[in-house]
């Protein structure tokens, strides 16, 4: 294996806090080096004619920030993602599966959250995830509402689709209406969660019903244009990562530039679909503007697992030179990998590590054969150089921290 693969591994060892949460639901200590246990080779499943399942689009068009956070006073705070919703709706499970690689089946043992749990995520962009206990009344005068909602990136409201959801919707509506007065720009992202195990009909009826009830309430109160989006999610498939990707993308001011760069790369190299992944969370922070289907996301996401797991076996943690890990890395080539698959329409997948946080994965088109790899490499190099200007690399080797209030 090319030694350059090992850098991906070294990075991922630092960034994947893979240990299961402690019995108090706390994140593992910084420095834990294990990665996820075993690749989930659903790649094979995909290759065996898995039908491409499209996630039904939300009728509410996404909105993007184009500058600093709407509620940020100084504009220098870390975006904050608030996870709210009823008890047992799945908030802690979502956070553990997406950011700590906890196997979904182990979320059965997560204890109920009793205090606000705050975690800092350090990746291509620093952000915080706050997990709220289900029973909390945020608008109780005892709470410092400003402290909770200022500097916020998005409010993620989790609704258990397998349970009675009318009360959850009532609380959600109350929260949105309260927020509209003081923080009208907060993105409210409604996760209609636990949709696994529901029949297709029931799933889409529930989804539509929830959207209708929220929108009716908002328009009754004169807030037709409140920034509320809806997603169907489950921790047992890729839908939760897909939804988080869309939530995070709205917080990236450079998104239009990234999309334009990816579009240009795709048209130059005949790439069917290109994703820029955050390696740590497997959230994609941008993709080209051609239609997305969950199948392409799944296969790319599984590919990252495979590369990380292989480099986990053959890689090692690189020692820092002069205590400066960035310097130690500059002498190495970026990790790259290529996989061929026999599936009509898609010749092969191409992965290139862009920097220590990001990887580019492309589904190559039929008219871009592997023999042209040199040209593709060159263009990806140009893309990488452009990206460096968009995301200048910063010293951010700060370990993840968790705190409770």
**Per CB under 6 A, 118 contacts ligand GTP:** no
Q: Which range touches ligand GTP (CB under 6 A), out of 102-110, 142-150, 307-315, 397-405?
A: 102-110
Token code pair at residue 41: 């080779």
Residue of 36, 78, 88, 118 interacting with ligand GTP (CB under 6 A):
88
Token code pair at residue 141: 């005068």
Rounded CA-CA distance 125/95 in Å is: 17
Q: What is the smallest separation between the CB atom of 101 and ligand GTP, expressed in angstroms?
A: 15
Contacts of 385 (CB under 8 A, 6+ apart): none
Q: What is the smallest separation between the CB atom of 147 and ligand GTP, expressed in angstroms?
A: 20
Rounded CA-CA distance 41/25 in Å is: 28
- The answer to whether the beta carbons of residues 328 and 319 sit under 8 Å apart is yes
Q: Which range touches ligand GTP (CB under 6 A), out of 1-9, 104-112, 184-192, 312-320?
A: 104-112
Token code pair at residue 12: 């991922």
Task: Determine how β-strand 336-343 pairs with β-strand 346-353.
Answer: antiparallel
Token code pair at residue 194: 């636990």
Eight-state DSSP code of residue 51: P
Nearer to ligand GTP, 132 or 350 (CB): 132
**Per CB under 6 A, 236 contacts ligand GTP:** yes
**Per CB under 6 A, 164 contacts ligand GTP:** no
Contacts with ligand GTP, 196-235, as mask; x by CB under 6 A: xx------------------------------------xx
Task: Find, among 283, 335, 287, 293, the residue nearest to 314 by Cα.
Answer: 335
Task: Find, among 226, 221, 209, the residue nearest to 60 by Cα.
Answer: 226
**Per CB under 6 A, 246 contacts ligand GTP:** no
Token code pair at residue 383: 């893309």
Nearer to ligand GTP, 13 or 128 (CB): 128
Q: What is the smallest separation between the CB atom of 208 and ligand GTP, expressed in angstroms?
A: 19
Nearer to ligand GTP, 158 or 359 (CB): 158
**Per CB under 6 A, 78 contacts ligand GTP:** no
**Per CB under 6 A, 163 contacts ligand GTP:** no
- The answer to whether the beta carbons of residues 239 and 233 sit under 8 Å apart is yes
Residue of 58, 92, 232, 311 interacting with ligand GTP (CB under 6 A):
92
**Per CB under 6 A, 90 contacts ligand GTP:** yes
* 3-state percent helix, strand, coil for the chain, nearest multiple of 5: 35, 20, 45
Query: What crossing angle do the helices spanning 239-249 and 91-100 adopt, rounded to 10°?
Result: 80
Rounded CA-CA distance 402/19 in Å is: 14
**Per CB under 6 A, 142 contacts ligand GTP:** no
Q: Which range touches ligand GTP (CB under 6 A), out of 188-196, 293-301, 333-341, 380-388?
A: 188-196
Count interface residues toward ligand GTP (CB under 6 A): 22
**Per CB under 6 A, 91 contacts ligand GTP:** yes
**Per CB under 6 A, 333 contacts ligand GTP:** no
Residue 133 backbone dihedrals phi, psi, to 5 degrees: -65, 145
Binding site for ligand GTP (CB under 6 A): 85, 87-93, 107-108, 110, 112-113, 133-134, 193-194, 196-197, 234-236
């Amino acid at each position: 294996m090319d030694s350059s693969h090992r850098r991906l591994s070294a990075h991922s060892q630092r960034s994947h806090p893979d240990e299961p949460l402690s019995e108090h639901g706390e994140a593992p200590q910084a420095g834990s080096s294990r990665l996820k246990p075993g690749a989930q080779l659903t790649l094979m499943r995909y290759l065996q004619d898995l039908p491409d399942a499209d996630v039904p689009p939300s009728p509410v068009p996404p909105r993007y920030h184009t500058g600093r956070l709407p509620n940020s006073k100084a504009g220098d705070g870390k975006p904050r993602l608030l996870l709210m919703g009823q008890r047992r709706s799945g908030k802690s499970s979502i956070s553990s599966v997406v950011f700590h690689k906890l196997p979904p089946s182990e979320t059965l043992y997560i204890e109920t959250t009793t205090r606000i749990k705050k975690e800092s995520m350090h990746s291509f962009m620093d952000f915080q995830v706050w997990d709220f206990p289900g029973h909390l009344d945020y608008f109780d005068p005892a709470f410092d509402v400003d402290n909770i909602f200022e500097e916020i990136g998005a409010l993620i409201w989790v609704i258990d689709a397998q349970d009675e959801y009318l009360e959850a919707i009532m609380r959600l509506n109350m929260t949105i209406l309260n927020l509209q007065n003081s923080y009208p720009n907060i993105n409210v992202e409604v996760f209609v969660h636990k949709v696994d195990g529901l029949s297709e009909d029931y799933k889409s009826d529930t989804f539509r019903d929830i959207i209708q009830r929220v929108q009716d309430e908002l328009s009754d109160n004169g807030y037709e244009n409140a920034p509320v989006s809806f997603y169907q999610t489950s921790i047992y498939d890729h839908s939760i990562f897909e939804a988080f990707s869309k939530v995070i993308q709205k917080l990236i001011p450079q998104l239009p530039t990234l999309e334009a760069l990816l579009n240009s790369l795709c048209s130059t190299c005949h790439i069917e679909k290109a994703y820029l992944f955050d390696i740590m969370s497997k959230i994609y922070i941008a993709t080209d503007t051609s239609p997305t289907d969950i199948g392409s996301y799944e296969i790319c996401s599984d590919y990252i697992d495979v590369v990380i797991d292989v480099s986990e076996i053959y890689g090692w943690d690189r020692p820092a030179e002069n205590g400066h890990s960035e310097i130690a890395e500059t002498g190495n080539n970026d990790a790259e990998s290529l996989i061929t698959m026999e599936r009509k329409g898609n010749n092969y997948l191409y992965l290139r590590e862009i920097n220590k946080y990001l990887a580019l994965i492309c589904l190559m088109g039929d008219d871009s054969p592997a023999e042209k790899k040199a040209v593709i490499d060159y263009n990806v190099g140009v893309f990488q150089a452009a990206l460096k200007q968009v995301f200048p690399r910063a010293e951010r080797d700060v370990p993840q921290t968790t705190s409770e209030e």
